Structure 1
């Protein structure tokens, strides 16, 4: 099983190979759920090397399509199956009812999906690992939030992007591609660099008297606190670290308080009889 993302985490490719059995079904289902949790704009599932002569894996791909369509915003799902395989014929019939496109090759799927992605709703920037990189990335976030009327997300998204870029400068030290894209009511941030090793959360050290305060590890803690989700995906040249920002849900209206005095227990609240 091979997983690969493009540099802005908008399209994810999942290749599944081997004999279709219960073990591969379980692994494939778990990986599909993980890919959808990353919330890309599109997910391509390459089944060219899947050994499934009876097409018994078909319900798995239909279920994945339903899960992708139910997301907000929905995720485009496409299958890549050579036309001479039995699974291709069955998925063509099932996919026609569930709007699940099937392509012969990955290249065809990429071209078809690229034509449907909202190209005007994504901003990208290539940065060197220099001290001014975080500032330039924050400015990109400001431009996007103002252009897309996502002002509520401007400051938290600037903080998250700054931490992602700083992390790439410190650990990858390679040229990076910074991207921000519109995802429904929120925005999606990503930083792609040239090192495959994924970032990891560092347990914060305890504050000790007469010892310098270790600030390492606070960057991803900030990302986790401000983003509704974040993660990392491998790319052809390294990895991409992404984060999803969503506006806060409106606060529920507080019920008016009843300030009427309460009677002691056991005392009946009877209507006064009046005086004669």
Structure 2
């Protein structure tokens, strides 16, 4: 499969979790991905000489990002060798994939002015991503409007069991403010598990984010541990029984969320999940999430609302 073909939609058989990892070649890191705390904005840094192999790695990373709530992808190409600008068709296809994703996203490139790729991008009338000379300029243009226009609530979570309740309360406030009570239970259940995973396994302070998108909620928890959560799906026929017995962990997230995954973040990672009415009637109903923080007041500190 060519790099262009790999930019197509993820097959339905791929399924969650969507785990974005660092791409490497025989010599060094080739593709690095860094998400913000909400996974709304993702930055990607590409290294090396442009080739079919490198394009394939970028395509895989872009597709995994588009499986989640990402609205903007900024790709740093300042360390990519492309003397003749031959990667232009790839970037046009990548921009199209982003526009046509289930959650449409904008894609922008950062590259030195005066290169052949920069020249070709600026002289192509339509269908190609916008080019910026610096990452800072790209962030202002792409990320700024998202922060101002999206419904968003965010809270800091200390590395303490009480933070699980605080994260759940954050979801409850968001659902009440945005009239999303239909998915309140499932969303709170999923957020509880994401927060508990950060408290128990990362052991660092974290940031919980809730973003409203129509009838959906995008949930994310950023912590200071780079290790990804481990997930092993139960065999067919065992899931219902195991959920009834445990009502715990990432298997519950897998069952309740329409999609979930993880991305690298600066100094850690972000684990995200999307909850929608289409997940079914209260899949988590009757199941108790982990509540190690039930003894005592909420531990999170709200830092913003949308």
TM-score relative to the length of structure 1: 0.81
Secondary structure of 1:146's counterpart equals helix
Match of 1:47 among 65, 74, 77: 77
Relative to structure 1, the CA distance from residue 99 to residue 85 in structure 2 (aligned partners, 3 Å threshold; closer, same or farther) is closer
Answer yes or no: is 1:111 the counterpart of 2:140. Answer: yes
CA distance in 1, matches of 2:259, 2:250: 12
Contact kept, 8 Å, 1:129 with 1:176, in 2: the verdict is: yes
Higher relative contact order (CA 8 A, sep 6+): 2
Query: What is the root-mean-square deviation in Å for CA atoms of aligned residues?
Result: 2.2
Match of 2:203 among 169, 173, 186: 173
Answer yes or no: is 1:66 the counterpart of 2:96. Answer: yes
Which 4+ runs in 1 deviate beyond 3 A?
202-205, 215-218
CA distance in 1, matches of 2:99, 2:214: 14
Larger radius of gyration: 1
Larger strand fraction of residues = 2
Contact kept, 8 Å, 2:70 with 2:103, in 1: the verdict is: no
TM-score relative to the length of structure 2: 0.74
CA distance in 2, matches of 1:118, 1:236: 19
Unaligned runs of 5+ in 1: 206-214, 252-276
Relative to structure 1, the CA distance from residue 114 to residue 27 in structure 2 (aligned partners, 3 Å threshold; closer, same or farther) is closer
CA distance in 2, matches of 1:68, 1:42: 9
* Aligned length in residues: 241
Match of 1:148 among 153, 178, 203: 178
Answer yes or no: is 1:26 the counterpart of 2:61. Answer: no
CA distance in 1, matches of 2:214, 2:101: 10
CA distance in 1, matches of 2:155, 2:69: 21
Relative to structure 1, the CA distance from residue 68 to residue 203 in structure 2 (aligned partners, 3 Å threshold; closer, same or farther) is closer
CA distance in 2, matches of 1:99, 1:59: 9
Unaligned runs of 5+ in 2: 1-30, 236-244, 282-306
Aligned to 1:121: 151
Contact kept, 8 Å, 2:91 with 2:128, in 1: the verdict is: no
